[in-house]
Structure formats: structure tokens, C-alpha cells
Amino acid sequence: MASEIELADVQAGYGRAAPVLRGFSVAVPAGSVVCLVGPNGAGKSTVLKVAAGLLRPSSGRVLVGDADLTGAGPQKMLAAGVALVLQGHSVFREMTVAENVLLGGYTIKDKARVAERAAFVRDLFPVVAQRWGSLAGLLSGGQQKQVEFARSLMVDPKVVLLDEPSMGLDPKATSTIFEQVARMRDAGTAVLLVEQNARRALQTADIGCVLDLGRVHVSGPAAELLADPQLGELYLGGKPTHIR
């Protein structure tokens, strides 16, 4: 089956400094979750930025479906069905939760459809419904994260790129997110997931991919990666119980 999104031999970086990604490739088939793990600074977020069109690769190709969208901007990418949830906090701080969520549907022309999606995300994240009228910048860290996720769910894209979606979320909300990821996969969406909560993420994922120094270090079925003790120690963390 053809991949919904594919990065082939991508080289990318910031400004004049040495490139961050050097010959990175990944393919995410429709209806599957690919989980990208790796140490801090390995280039995971950079991969997602390239995939979403925020960062133009210096070489290599970005394919969405059958189309070559290398170098296309985020709007084109979105139009092609690729959505990204950024790492860290990217709510529109001085706009209300409502405005944030509804802006998620910026590209949808059909008003009724926007309302429908809004109702859906309000159901999914109680915080969003509760704080519908307050300024998003005033929410707690985890609440903001939920708003962001809700915002990205306003469209239902073919490819979802998630940059550490569970960061800062309490266990309940984390579960909601992973359930949602599974549900999207089941609905045929291709999900490229970056997570430091690696064990949890790999449990949800179909394919795991370890990134180090801008290259694919290992990739394979998620379950296999989980079982590899060496990878566990280097990238996934042991069971922290041994600390004391």
C-alpha cells in the first residue's frame, strides 16, 4: 500500500549552521502510526517541521500521496491534508479558547461543518467546553495543550503530525490523546508521532523509528523496538524504578 506521506533522503537545517537532518527517510502508510523517538536535539521536531512545510529541506523529497510537495508551504500542505501539532505551547494566547478552536477550522468553508467539529472536540476535551470563553493564554499548561490538540482536530486530515502531544498532560488526558490517535488510525489516517513518553507511544504505534544525529538509527515494527534491551537503555529509558 502506498504511503500517505513520505520523506525521502531529506537534508535540512537552520541558517548557516551544520544541517540537522542528513539523509533522513520515513514513510507513513495510511491507517498506521509511526512513532519517532530519539534523544533531545536529534532532530525529531525538525522532521515534523519539514513534513508540514514549515521548514524547507535543502535536499531530498517530501511526498504526500502521489504528489511531490517538496518545498511547499504549510498552507499547501494543509490543503493536501497534512496537519501538525507543534511542540511546546502554540495556542493563540490572547484569543479565547473558542476563537482558538474555531480557527482550527479556518480552511473549512462550510459553517455547519465547523460547528459539528467544534461540538465533537468539546465533547472530547471537557476543559475546552468548560473554558470556552476564557483567554487561552490563561489556561494551565496542560489545559493549553488540550486546546491545541482540539484545534488540530477541527479538520480531519489525511496525515497528522504530532510533536510530543502528551507533554504536560495528566494521565487522563494522556489516555484521551492516545485513544484519539488510535481512533484516527482506525479511521485510515496516517499518524507520525514524536514522543518522549516512548514506551507508551510505541505501544500505540505500528512502526517505530529511532532517530539520532539526524539519521534513522533503527526502524522496524514498534513491538520489536520495545523488546530490544539496547535500544531501551539508550533511547526509551529503563524502568525508572531502579533509581533508588
Ligand X SMILES: Nc1ncnc2c1ncn2[C@@H]1O[C@H](COP(=O)(O)OP(=O)(O)OP(=O)(O)O)[C@@H](O)[C@H]1O
Kindly tell me which residue out of 26, 47, 84, 162 binds other proteins, with binding defined by CB under 8 A: 84
Residue 96 binds ligand X, judged by CB under 6 A: no
The one segment of 57-65, 106-114, 118-126, 135-143 that binds ligand X by CB under 6 A: 135-143
186 or 230: whose CB is closer to other proteins?
A: 230
45 or 189: whose CB is closer to Mg ion?
A: 45
Residue 23 binds ligand X, judged by CB under 6 A: no
Say which residue the cell 476535551 belongs to: 125
**Residue numbers 184-243 binding ligand X by CB under 6 A:** none
How far CA 157 is from CA of 133, 184, 190, in Å, comes to 26, 9, 9
Coil, strand or helix at 59: strand
Closest distance of CB 18 from ligand X, Å: 9
Residue among 6, 14, 3, 4 at smallest CA distance from 61: 6
Residue 174 binds other proteins, judged by CB under 8 A: yes
30 or 62: whose CB is closer to ligand X?
A: 62
**Residue numbers 120-159 binding other proteins by CB under 8 A:** 127, 134-135, 137-143, 145-146, 148, 151-152, 154
Residue 218 binds other proteins, judged by CB under 8 A: no
Kindly tell me which residue out of 29, 31, 74, 142 binds ligand X, with binding defined by CB under 6 A: 142
Contacts of 30 (CB under 8 A, 6+ apart): 1, 2, 3, 4, 158, 188, 189, 190
Kindly tell me which residue out of 34, 198, 205, 209 binds other proteins, with binding defined by CB under 8 A: 198
Residue among 205, 190, 239 at smallest CA distance from 36: 205
Residue 144 binds Mg ion, judged by CB under 5 A: no
Kindly tell me which residue out of 42, 101, 118, 205 binds ligand X, with binding defined by CB under 6 A: 42
CA 159, 163, 168, 174 torsion-angle sign: positive
> Which chain residues interact with ligand X by CB under 6 A?
14, 17, 20, 38, 40-46, 87, 138-143, 168
